[in-house]
A and B are shown apart, each in its own frame.
Chain A
Amino acid sequence: MSAVGVLLKKELIDSLRDRRTLLTMVLLPILLYPGMMALVGFVMAAGQERLAREELTVAVVGDDAEAFLRGQPPPAHTSYRRLTRAEAERALGEKKVWAVVDAPEGSHQEVSRGRQAHLTVLYTKRHDRSMEALERVRRVLASAAVGALKLRLAGAKLPETFAEPLKTEEVDVDFQKDLGPLVASRVLPVLLVVMLLMSALYPAVDATAGEKERGTLETLLAAPVHPLQVMAAKYLSVSVIATLATLVNLTAMAISFGIGFRFHETVARMAFGPGQISVLLLCLVPASFLSSGVALAVASLARSFKDAQNLLTPVALLAMVPGLLTMMPGIELNAWTAAIPLLNVALLVKATVLGTAGPLHVLITLASVLACSAGAVALAARAFQSERLRFGGAQSWRDLLRPSRPR
């Protein structure tokens, strides 16, 4: 077995026996995804149900507003309260009522005469109750409008279809059965990119700063091995662990979505097909090699676990940005975004889930990720060749770029 092989075996045994690595790699994803889905689904469903059953008061300003509202069956759990406009506005501000319906004097009569009335509904987006009250009032007023229209059409002896010469049915062929993929395309990129980096961070810190702190690096480098062989073994080990963690993450996610949580329809019954899984793996595995290289390069600057935490916290936060960007409307995988590392992986995950990933974009993403991985490994190797970084001393980001004498 070559020196790299011997060292790789040692690194893997060392890492895989570490409880903290196992916790990050296996336990966290297995518990995280189902737990998160269950929690989000449960909270969303429970919140909406609770709001729908809430007793809400709507202020009514003037006889005409009352006439519009009273002419229709009242929404469930809703009561009306007559107030002046000033009183109603004050009551809305004081959260004594949740919406205000105001109609000008004579407007009800105007509608009966075939004219148009202008109504005002006051509400506030600051409170879910106000939004719920608005929805309830909207339904009542829409019903009143339909009723008035039917009367007019009957009076003019016109069919009900007269007012609707075109009836359009909009059919979303992708999502008509299930909104799961849409939700997943928003959530998965952030989760996967963050988990990818998190999976590489701890083993990378343990293999670099941890070795320095425990005094094992000195012993190892006094053996007849080249520092680059040591680095290569560490890189391969961290990459293998990060890849395994990614696979565990993907599996846990697929199972979570596949089983489906019935707490909320939008997160239910999402399943990855073999094609989607292949594309995800194709890009996530090289991406785990990229995150391992970055994590090792940065962790090599640290003298201890504490140093490493300080250095890697901004990296972890930065890694969330590409995932969050994918949530923004209009940001999609194209030839340009496919070239931006990490953002391309996040966008590819999104495109794969939505089934819109094209082969060219996959290729550009792969090329970009592999090129950046090579760069990250080169930086990590440089860090390991520098005796200043190997034995304490500096902790500057510039040290990664400073020329060092290879040994």
Chain B
Amino acid sequence: MAAISLEELTKDFGALRAVDRLSLEVRPGEVVGLLGPNGAGKTTALRVLAGLLAPTSGRALLLGFDVTERPLQARRQLGFLTASTGLYERLTVKEVLSTFGRLHGMAEVAITGRLAQLSAELELSEFLDRRCGSLSTGQKQRVSIARAVLHEPAVYVLDEPTASLDPLASSGILEMVRRARGAGKAVLFSTHRMEEAEFLCDRLVFLAAGKAVAEGTPAELRHRSGEPSLTGAFLHYAKLGARS
């Protein structure tokens, strides 16, 4: 069974069709990248998956749970991360993580154990008791990762998670994705960084004007587009989408 499944997903904002009959699947242990120009519908599709937006038609499923019909069950499986760190600046790191752990139904003992584990993995120990507002961008991003994976979700949905980060901070995210794949998690993420997509993704889906215009491994897409680089393939499919 696919861990992430979009079935003919459509999302309209008034007269604007942001996502147009998009279908894709991500299996456990697979990393799929969503590529496309700004306004292609990547963020909207991921927001529907995260249960933040309701689809106009079609379905989005996480481990078989329809995100509209059974939103709470679906979101319990989800680790969601965006470019905006989304941390409460007046709360300490520990308070933020503890709050989200409890919202995911974790017991106090489980939260404490997981905090210790993540502190070691992501080097959070030195600022666990500091307020998030006082952290550097890189530190905030590490806390965001911890928040997203604290409850050990089976599915990761990442919306341009490295967009505002320097290479050092980005590497933390990439390491998280690699570890997730190794642990059998399904990962769907959007990015504008072609080297990341090439390096991490098992498959790529190109979106243009809300539609999937191409899908395959990075090598397949380069080959089919006749471009030597993934950036060239990106431009090729973006133009193709604009023409259609």
Contact = CB atoms under 8 A, between A and B. Distances in A.
Interface of A: 1, 3, 6-7, 9-10, 13-14, 17-18, 214-216, 218-226, 387, 390-391, 393, 405, 407
A405 B52 CA distance: 13
B98 to A, nearest CB: 9
Q: For this complex, into which size category does the number of interface residues on chain B fall?
A: 20 to 34
Interface stretch (B80-88, B168-176, B194-202, B205-213): B80-88
Contacts of A220: 86
Contacts of B147: 219
B59 interface: no
A14 B85 contact: no
B54 interface: yes
Contact of A219 (B86, B90, B95): B86
B84 A18 contact: no
Given A6-B103, A218-B47, A223-B104, 7 more contacts: A9-B99, A214-B86, A218-B50, A222-B52, A223-B103, A226-B72, A387-B52
Interface in B45-92: 47, 50-54, 68, 71-73, 75-76, 78, 80, 82, 84-91
Interface of B: 13, 47, 50-54, 68, 71-73, 75-76, 78, 80, 82, 84-91, 95, 99-100, 102-105, 131, 147
A215 to B, nearest CB: 3
A215 B84 contact: yes
13 contacts: A1-B102, A3-B102, A3-B103, A7-B99, A219-B80, A219-B82, A221-B51, A222-B75, A222-B78, A224-B73, A224-B105, A225-B103, A387-B54
Contacts of B103: 3, 6-7, 223-225
A215 B131 CA distance: 17
Contact of A17 (B13, B54, B80, B90): B90
Contacts of B73: 224
Contacts of B71: 224, 226, 407
A88 B78 CA distance: 90
A13 B88 CA distance: 10
A223 B81 CA distance: 11
A224 B84 contact: no
B163 to A, nearest CB: 12
Instruction: Please list the 6 inter-chain residue pairs (A to B) with the smallest Cβ-Cβ separation, ordered nearest first.
Output: A215-B84, A219-B86, A222-B80, A17-B90, A224-B75, A222-B50
A407 B54 CA distance: 8
B88 A224 contact: no
Given A218-B82, A407-B54, A14 B102 contact: no
Nearest to B103: A223
Nearest to B79: A222
Max count, chain A CB within 10 A of own CB: residue among B50, B52, B85 = B52
Contacts of A224: 71-73, 75-76, 103-105
Max count, chain A CB within 10 A of own CB: residue among B82, B85, B89, B102 = B102
A14 B88 contact: yes
Max count, chain B CB within 10 A of own CB: residue among A1, A13, A223, A226 = A223
B90 A14 contact: yes
Contacts of A9: 99
Given A14-B90, A219-B82, A6 B102 contact: yes
Contact of B82 (A215, A223, A387): A215
Nearest to A390: B52
Contacts of A222: 50-52, 75, 78, 80
Nearest to B77: A224
B86 A14 contact: no
B167 to A, nearest CB: 23
